[in-house]
Amino acid sequence: MGDFGVVQSSFIAPDGPLATLIKGHKTQKGQNKSSSTFYRNLEEVLDVKRASDNFYSTLPTDSTSVDFCSGDVMSMGGSAQHREEFLAELGKHPQFALGTTSSRLMDGNYKYIEQAESEIAAFHGAEVGLFVGSGFEANLAIWSTIPKQGDVILYDALVHASTHDGIRQSLAMDRVAFPHSDVDAFRDTLRDILETRPLVRQGKRCVLVAVESIYSMDGDICPLQELVDAAQEVFQDHEGSVQFVVDEAHSVGFIGPEGKGLVCELGLESEIAVVMHSFGKAIGASGGA
């Protein structure tokens, strides 16, 4: 406790990082009269956010503080061995392009990426994989492209903001939330959907379920097996009409055999349509698949 107290004192000292951060959150009204209209307007908008305690900014760097919010739960991001392995792999492929050079649809695609996607897909028991810039981007891509008009998106109330953003861009306008990890409510909602959506009942459209294996804010684990069982029970006469999309951003590298994630831990590879993996958490890298 003594060491922690010193850390806290250092962080909140009058000239410490937290004090600097708080000072930046105070309104700047009247201090930018000589600025141009463009900058005054920006400051006015920022002052509204500062005054409402809705102003977000990056935390200052402070090596004396203890980090309780990092996604680097396995400490791989700062691992010397991880860095050595990365540089060794890079050294094996001297022609590897460090930049994207172009869209993959043009000349930004090359064999190494395709091989890595295949290896990662096989590792997780999936048919095929696709790299994207981040887990956030992956969820946007999944939900803005896969659902079609007439499909129903059924999502856990606590799914990540990236999933919500992707759903908002979806062609599927029928979107239903169920209480967080509530299997009974999930089952009842599925029954209601089956009864009230003729296209789903006729097998012409699907129910796409959005869940996370480990929820990013509360850190609790999804009752995935129970949800899958409930879906199979309700839709036993409509096989394939309910499909799951599982966000494994906070479980890959952390749960399951060799860190493959919750889907693999439960042996549900053949039951889950799409799995999203982010490399920016336990893997200690960047990007997503």
Is 244 strand, coil or helix? strand
Phi, psi (deg, nearest 5) at residue 21: -65, -45
Picking from 196, 289, 199, 213, the residue whose alpha carbon sits closest to that of residue 255 is 213
In CATH terms, 135-276 corresponds, of 3.40.47.40, 3.40.640.10, 3.50.50.60, 3.40.50.880, to 3.40.640.10
Report in angstroms the alpha-carbon separations of 191 from 113, 226, 232.
Answer: 42, 16, 11
Q: How far apart are CA 278 and CA 259, in angstroms?
A: 13
pLDDT tens string 205-257:
999 999 999 998 889 999 999 999 999 999 999 999 999 999 999 999 989 99
Edge-to-edge strand list for the sheet holding 174-178:
174-178, 152-156, 207-212, 242-247, 274-276
What was the pLDDT predicted at 2?
A: 37
Q: How far apart are CA 202 and CA 196, in angstroms?
A: 11
Q: How far apart are CA 26 and CA 55, in angstroms?
A: 10
What was the pLDDT predicted at 57?
A: 76
> pTM to 2 decimals?
0.85
Token pair 């903001």 is found at: 161
Ranges of the chain with pLDDT below 50: 1-9
* Cβ pair 211, 226 in contact under 8 A: no
What was the pLDDT predicted at 189?
A: 98
What was the pLDDT predicted at 108?
A: 85
Specify burial of residue 208 (Cβ count, 10 A radius: 0-12, 13-18, 19+). buried
Strand extents, DSSP E, 62-115: none
Chain centroid offset of residue 131 CA: 14
Two tokens, residue 235: 């839709």
Q: Domain ranges in the chain? A: 2-51, 135-276
What was the pLDDT predicted at 158?
A: 97
